[in-house]
Structure 1
């Protein structure tokens, strides 16, 4: 093959990571975008069963966005039996109900099972069917467990790479420690209670001076409202400095007018 620079540094962490098995894939571009989806989620072992147009195909590399090493390491098999022969557990994605009696899991549940199997050094694989019709009953007969994604029941259509990406994403999340929420402060920090109180003292002092808080009955409630406003969010020290400056400038302008 030509026109490649090696792509990203995509090296499997373990030989016991799940194998993605594309059964009779039809388009080289879909194989390439599948490799890209695998790399996103930390899956690196790719097997191809009877690709319609043979293998390798340059168009797959063009579509992979740098996931070259996954494609270069991909292996080709004539049958599903050959592709799963060395595996100990096999999952099969199944977008539509079939007359099959097997355990059915969501992508999240299957990912958790795959992670446990990986830790126990059990070799696993996930079957994905051809673009047009998906896996047939003979393909699914080779699997221990079916995987169905909980999607909009009125429209559950996914392309091949999307189907792989959902599974790869759930696999990645099983050991991801990213906080579900973060707050970007750049070079400043979330204001301390002391800094907030210092600002409130500055603000209330000037509001008293202007007469804004002159109604003694309403004054406590107005102060509480102001305090709630500035303490309910993550006000930063830099924002407080700006507000201090605003107040000081308003005071300066008022004194100049006098």
Structure 2
């Protein structure tokens, strides 16, 4: 896909689901849906009977750099036409309907999408109009329904938000990002040797200034200090700062004693 701005293209990675927006009402919502798709590695969009026709310049204004997705949009008159070349289609369903079909969460739906695309099958993910969602005829074309387990007392998403949830779950299936990490920037986590060097500096100065007062309590207080500094991941930069603090306090004490 090439973009209107001539920038580097957003390249689809492998066999990814086609996002099908059925009878979208506002061009701005199509643009923000494309933006949501790109965040989750989804790059194929189809439109079914957009209310105001296509293309609509307003969509590109809200795509925030995902305009290559909009450049490659395919437009169809009916849902049947839009899904004709696909092997499996899943429909998002915001409220209970009188249909008998498998119902999945967004996470479960993403897992099924991955399983199908992993077998080389082409899959689609349908989203309905902003005001009312997909109707029963639309859902009759789907192999399964996807419902988001959100707050039952207030379950209201705009089109882009609904697309973003599925894009996120699709992306997270293969994501290896650590659930938690410490950002150290230019420094590094202090080694035991660096930490022990600081502890020796600190304890020596505390000895010099008579901090302990009670020699009997000294071992326990030293252990408490050691526990404090080993409880988290202290960085080398933080230890250098603490060395400076201890050094300055010691210099001021020695100056006052003269």
TM-score calculated relative to the size of structure 1? 0.95
SS of residue matched to 1:47? strand
Q: Which residue of 1 aligns with 2:122?
A: 123
| Equivalent position SS for 1:246 | helix
For residues 30-109 of structure 1, the aligned pairs below 5 Å read 30-109=29-108
Q: How far apart in 2 are the matches of 1:248 and 1:72?
A: 63
| Counterparts of 1:97 and 1:216, CA distance in 2 | 73
1:111-160 Cα shifts (integer Å, max 9, x gaps) = 11111211110110001000000011111111111001111111110000
Paired position in structure 2 for 1:5: 5
1:13 deviates by: 2.2
Q: How many residues align?
A: 255
Q: Which residue of 2 aligns with 1:241?
A: 240
Query: Aligned with 1:161: secondary structure?
Result: helix
Shift of residue 37, structure 1, vs aligned partner: 0.6
C-alpha contact 1:8 1:67 (8 A) present in aligned 2: no
Whether the 8 Å CA contact 1:8–1:66 is kept in 2: the answer is no
Contact 2:40/2:167 (8 A) holds in 1: yes
Quick one: distance in 1 between partners of 2:160 and 2:7? 19
Aligned residue number for residue 176 of structure 2: 177
Shift of 1:83: 0.7
- Structure 1 residue 217 displacement after superposition: 3.4
Distance in structure 2 (CA, Å) of the matches to 1:129 and 1:7: 31
In the TM superposition, residue 200 of structure 1 has moved relative to its aligned partner by 0.8
Q: Distance in 1 between matches of 2:57 and 2:119?
A: 37
Q: Measure how far apart 1:182 and its partner are.
A: 1.8
Q: CA RMSD in A?
A: 1.4
Could you say which residue in structure 2 is the equivalent of 1:251? 250
SS at match of 2:46: strand
How far 1:7 sits from its partner (Å)? 5.3
Q: Distance in 2 between matches of 1:184 and 1:105?
A: 36
Q: What are the ranges of 5 or more consecutive residues in structure 2 without an aligned counterpart?
A: none
